[in-house]
């Protein structure tokens, strides 16, 4: 696992930067930007997928504090009601739509929420629960960042992603230098790199069985064939 100083020295060589172009602290910012760009805008990386802390329902409470303000959690991808064994759907609409729907809701004594939305550092559910026996399990996506301090800090993604971090940091360096041509070349370099990579998510999609849109061959449904 390469540390920050190793990545920084490699970035300097890749960009051909002079020692008076940027300080080490500025190169570190470019690396942090490249890592954040990779893990939160470009790709969903398996190492950043995690299970959060369960959230217990409270009767009459529609909002719950979550750890999105921490440096580790970027967003909640999925929310599962572990008591009723169901996935809670994300609210299909704006937060204003959600607030207006709350004004018109008519919960019963057995109301169990089936929608959620995140706003700021709060998770909101709809409809408002009228039972206190629900436990929601959030499946979170962590923020891509350096862990540790100083030159010994390391990215919180595995080493196979380090080349991509440096390429995106290289683009950021050229943007800062006002070199649009080399910045565009770095973008093309990243696209070529990622298109050749067989990522875990690509593997999962490739081997995941199709659940619809397929018409079976007639022989597959002939009872006389014993299948």
pLDDT 10s digits, 179-213 = 999 999 999 999 999 888 766 666 666 666 555 55
Structure tokens at 143: 């923020």
Structure confidence at residue 108 (pLDDT): 78
**87-135 pLDDT, tens per residue?**
999 999 999 999 999 998 887 777 889 999 999 889 999 999 988 889 9
Maximum CA pair distance of the chain?
A: 81
Q: Burial-class residue 3 by CB neighbours within 10 Å (0-12, 13-18, 19+).
A: middle
How long, in residues, is the chain?
Answer: 227
Residue pointed to by tokens 């609210």: 91
Which one has a higher pLDDT value, 76 or 200?
Answer: 76
- Chain-centre distance of CA 100, in angstroms? 28
- Higher-confidence position of 78 and 220: 78
Backbone angles phi, psi at 174, to 5 degrees: -65, -35
- What is the structure's pLDDT at 141? 92
Least confident of 46-50, 77-81, 83-87, 198-202: 198-202
Residue 225 confidence class, pLDDT cut points 50, 70, 90: very low
Residue 70 confidence (pLDDT): 64
Q: Would you state the pLDDT for residue 214?
A: 52
pTM of the model: 0.77
For every residue of 149-215, DSSP letters joined together read SGGG-EESS-GGGHHHHHHHHHHHHHHHHT-HHHHHHHHHHHHHHHHH---HHHHHHHHSPP-SS-P
Hey, where are the domains in the chain? 4-44+148-196, 47-142
């Amino acid at each position: 696992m390469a540390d920050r100083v190793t990545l920084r020295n490699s970035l300097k060589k890749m960009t051909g930067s002079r020692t008076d172009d940027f300080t080490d602290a500025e190169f570190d910012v470019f690396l942090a930007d490249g890592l954040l760009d990779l893990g939160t805008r470009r790709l969903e990386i398996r190492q950043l997928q995690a299970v959060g802390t369960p959230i217990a329902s409270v009767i009459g409470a529609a909002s719950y504090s979550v750890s999105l303000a921490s440096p580790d959690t970027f967003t909640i991808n999925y929310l599962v009601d572990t008591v009723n064994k169901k996935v809670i759907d994300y609210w299909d609409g704006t937060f204003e739509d959600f607030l207006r729907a709350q004004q018109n809701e008519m919960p019963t004594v057995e109301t169990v929420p089936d929608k959620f939305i995140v706003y700021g550092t709060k998770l909101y559910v709809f409809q408002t629960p009228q039972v206190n026996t629900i436990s929601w399990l959030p499946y979170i996506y962590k923020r891509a960042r350096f862990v540790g301090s100083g030159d010994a800090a390391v990215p919180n993604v595995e080493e196979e992603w380090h080349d991509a971090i440096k390429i995106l940091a290289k683009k950021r360096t050229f943007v800062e230098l006002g070199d649009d041509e080399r910045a565009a070349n770095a973008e093309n370099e990243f696209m070529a790199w990622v298109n050749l990579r067989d990522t875990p998510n690509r593997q999962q999609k490739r081997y995941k069985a199709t659940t619809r849109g397929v018409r079976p061959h007639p022989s597959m449904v002939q009872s006389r064939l014993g299948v």
